[in-house]
Structure 1
């Protein structure tokens, strides 16, 4: 990445800085993950995605029919869907789906030889399937991570000729203290996290043990690995439907045609929400070297986008950025960023284990500690659960 650099500070850890000036809207960098995996519930519910790059494999019409539970639905302007089913392929051994020969070959070269079960129908007694089933029973939707990220990390090391090189890349991700690791595991797995974490560790050992990373299979090492993906994982979402909508927006239409199309799309999303809620995309998570070095700000100067409908991430400037300036993103969604300083700090402490000292939080330091009614209700529900 020639225009950005990672710097390491003893107190702050890893941070990302610009080495040239950027204008608002500029692409700072583009990167693919070291590892990426679709969420297990997402896959179980037939959100078809390339097993390597996460590209949505359903065309927009098929995706709309499934999400809206309307098998006779017909989308106008089918040319706006860019899914190329004729290019889709499978692993010849286990029949895992890929968007192209290129993704299939890349997966086989990087990690899939280790993960391939060699059967077209998954054996529920296979160690990998038992691991996936255990994870789904511990981590219900909405998922925020996947145990298969750990499996792919191990598989990468197993298949890599230069094992020290790939291990050093994983070592670059930010680490947590023991207390923080336990908090992260508790957040992901709930009250029974210690017992559940040990179950997952045993299943991972059964399926993938390797002496080159034997430290990852100890209770302490596995907890650290689990915290690493919980702390550094970046959500990935792909949708052939959203691509179709975006391309429809770019069509040159008469005013009447535009109004008709917009009304159709609005109604489609209403129908989908009734049937599927907001669970629209093929979703997963990945580990990205440069993105993971971006610290949080409640007034970020950059944001993460996925413009290619796959796991390729772009970091885009949302403000002008000067050379030497730190690149910051928001760990909070847009709705949460509009909340009070107190509410933002509460969310960041609970989910990311730090107090924010960004310029916005500093400017609001004397504001009253105001918590929304919604958060108070959540606190009451949590107190009832804990009691």
Structure 2
């Protein structure tokens, strides 16, 4: 997350947005520092990714999401029915769901679905021309489906990366008008990762999965080869691409049900009606957890330029949200932030932050190649009680698991 991502062509609106962001922050080394004050709760940054992709297992389990922006293509009721496996559920207040099926659009050739004609056109102009290989993406014999199915056979949920993210990066290079400029920027970025640690391939594809990685690399070379970046198809280059998405990929969550829940909070209801609604929502979440576990969102992964410059802290002063229901990332202040104060985020999820120092340090070292010296880690440095035997055993078990 702390490395430059200046390797993809920018649309004019992206350049303007980045310029506006730099008026609010300045970059010092590998971090962001505020140039103005923010209050707790302020949205201090909104950003769209350079590229994003839905997780392959979410797609397999019929999480219908816009191929470009990951917005849910199910209304809230459809989503909760599927995730609870109960077609009888009826959600009240349907006006609180903002999914508009009348705007849905498809690629006329491969039938990939989008939430709007605008997303369809944006995908086509950015990468989809290179990915639209003729037959419907519903066809199991589609070359990309074969590659993604192979990826799934090696990598089971929960996912933290996507083979499709790498494919889209290559497709963007294929469609770039000035390939040499994009390749030059991207190659510099990849080399900086390799030089920092030559054997990094992210935990998803560690050394114990060398054979599986070679299968994926061979398939990618056979069905989606781009001569101008042929070095990326070598074992070392392929590893560097996984290092990129592993250390820089930001998880994305979009859920029409979650947005419906949020919208109901704004309803003007009586106390009794409000309490009944809250109780029913709690019961629905319990059923969702029981039936679907962590498969609750149309989740994916994306690469964000401005957000990537923010360093990690186990006591961050901002948090990442996806309040628009698509791939738009919002950075929200958790505390009051003063000018010249560093902007920090957490690279770990809520559960990860709640674990002991040992587990946090282990995850950050393996996935992001640094030892955290934030105030929380420093204060816990000499407190052995913070690390439990159970956590250490869980870490050992994780190392024995597949990808």
Alpha-carbon spacing, 1:159–1:36, altered in 2? closer, same or farther (3 Å): same
Give deviations 1:81-118, integer Å, cap 9, x for gaps.
11000111110111101000000000001000000122
Q: Which whole-Å CA distance do the structure 2 matches of 1:18 and 1:294 have between them?
A: 11
Q: Which whole-Å CA distance do the structure 2 matches of 1:261 and 1:313 have between them?
A: 29
Q: Which whole-Å CA distance do the structure 1 matches of 2:162 and 2:201 have between them?
A: 14
Q: Which whole-Å CA distance do the structure 2 matches of 1:277 and 1:338 have between them?
A: 19
Q: Which whole-Å CA distance do the structure 1 matches of 2:400 and 2:321 have between them?
A: 38
| TM-score, normalisation: structure 1 | 0.91
Over the aligned positions, Cα root-mean-square deviation in angstroms equals 2.3
Q: Which whole-Å CA distance do the structure 2 matches of 1:121 and 1:340 have between them?
A: 44
Q: Which whole-Å CA distance do the structure 1 matches of 2:253 and 2:335 have between them?
A: 24
The yes-or-no answer on 1:332 pairing with 2:348 is yes
| 1:321, distance to aligned residue in structure 2 (A) | 2.1
The yes-or-no answer on 1:137 pairing with 2:153 is yes
* 2:3 alignment partner in structure 1: none
The yes-or-no answer on 1:182 pairing with 2:199 is yes
* 1:210 alignment partner in structure 2: 226
| 1:120, distance to aligned residue in structure 2 (A) | 2.8
Task: Give secondary structure in 1 for the equivalent of 2:53.
Answer: strand
| TM-score, normalisation: structure 2 | 0.88
Structure 2: runs of 5 or more not aligned: 1-20
After the TM superposition, which of the residue ranges 343-352 and 239-248 deviates more from structure 2? 343-352
Alpha-carbon spacing, 1:154–1:343, altered in 2? closer, same or farther (3 Å): closer
Q: Which whole-Å CA distance do the structure 2 matches of 1:224 and 1:103 have between them?
A: 29
Of the candidates 57, 63, 85, which is equivalent to residue 69 of structure 1? 85
Task: Give secondary structure in 2 for the equivalent of 1:282.
Answer: coil
Alpha-carbon spacing, 1:338–1:219, altered in 2? closer, same or farther (3 Å): closer
Give deviations 1:332-366, integer Å, cap 9, x for gaps.
22333234333432332233332111122223333
After the TM superposition, which of the residue ranges 93-102 and 358-367 deviates more from structure 2? 358-367
Aligned residues, how many?
Answer: 381
Of the candidates 92, 111, 127, which is equivalent to residue 127 of structure 2? 111
* 2:67 alignment partner in structure 1: 51
Q: Which whole-Å CA distance do the structure 2 matches of 1:188 and 1:155 have between them?
A: 22
* 2:272 alignment partner in structure 1: 256
The yes-or-no answer on 1:286 pairing with 2:306 is no
| 1:8, distance to aligned residue in structure 2 (A) | 6.0
Structure 1: runs of 5 or more not aligned: none
